[in-house]
Structure 1
Amino acid sequence: MLKIIWVVLSLILIGLIFLRTPQNQGLASFSTKSNLLGSPSSAEQFLNNLTIILMISYFLFAIFLNYSN
C-alpha cells in the first residue's frame, strides 16, 4: 500500500515539475514581467508550497520504505 502511494506521489511530482513554467526566460522576461522583484502570485506560491510538501513526503516515504525491507 505504501509503495503504491510512493509511486503515485512520484508521478504527481514529475508532472508538477514538467508543467511549471521556467522563472527566467532570458532578456524577454525583463520587458514582459511587471512584478520583477515582487512576490509571486498566489497560484504560483501555492504550487511552490505544494511542490515542497510533496518532495518532503516523497523523501520520507523513500526513507521509510528503504528501512522497512
Structure 2
Amino acid sequence: MLKLIGFITSICLIILIFLRVPQESVGLSSFTSKSDFLGSSPSSVERSLNILTTFGILIYFGIAIQLNLSNI
C-alpha cells in the first residue's frame, strides 16, 4: 500500500514539475490569461504550484524513509 502511495506521489510530482514553466516563457501566463483553469493570475498559480510541489516532496521523502526503514 505504501509503495502505491509513493508511486502516485512521484507521478504527481512529475506532473507538477512539468507545469512549472519559467517566468520569461509565455506558456503559463498565456494559458492562464486564456482560461481560468489554474487560477486568476500567474503569480497565484506559481505560488500554489510551489506549495503543492513542496508538500509533495515532503510526502515523498517521508514515504521513501519509511520504505527504507521497513527493508532493514
TM-score normalized by the length of structure 1: 0.70
Structural mapping, 1:29-68, within 5 Å: 41-68=43-70
Runs of 4+ residues over 6 Å off in structure 1: none
1:21-36 to structure 2, matched below 5 A, reads 21-24=21-24
Segments of 5+ residues of structure 2 without an aligned counterpart are 26-41
Question: Which of structures 1 and 2 has the larger relative contact order (alpha carbons within 8 angstroms, sep 6+)?
Answer: 1
- With over 3 angstroms needed to count, the CA separation of the structure-2 counterparts of 1:24 and 1:63, relative to structure 1, is farther
Q: Deviation at 1:24?
A: 4.7
Tell me which residue corresponds to 1:17.
17
When Rg is computed on C-alpha atoms for both structures, the one with the higher figure is 1
d(CA) in 2 for partners of 1:6 and 1:21?
Answer: 25
Deviation at 1:19, TM superposition (A): 2.0
Matched length: 55
Give the TM-score of the pair, scaled to structure 2.
Answer: 0.68
- Per the TM alignment, residue 23 of structure 1 is displaced from its structure 2 partner at its CA by 3.2
For 1:15 and 1:57, how far apart are their aligned partners in 2?
15
RMSD: 1.5
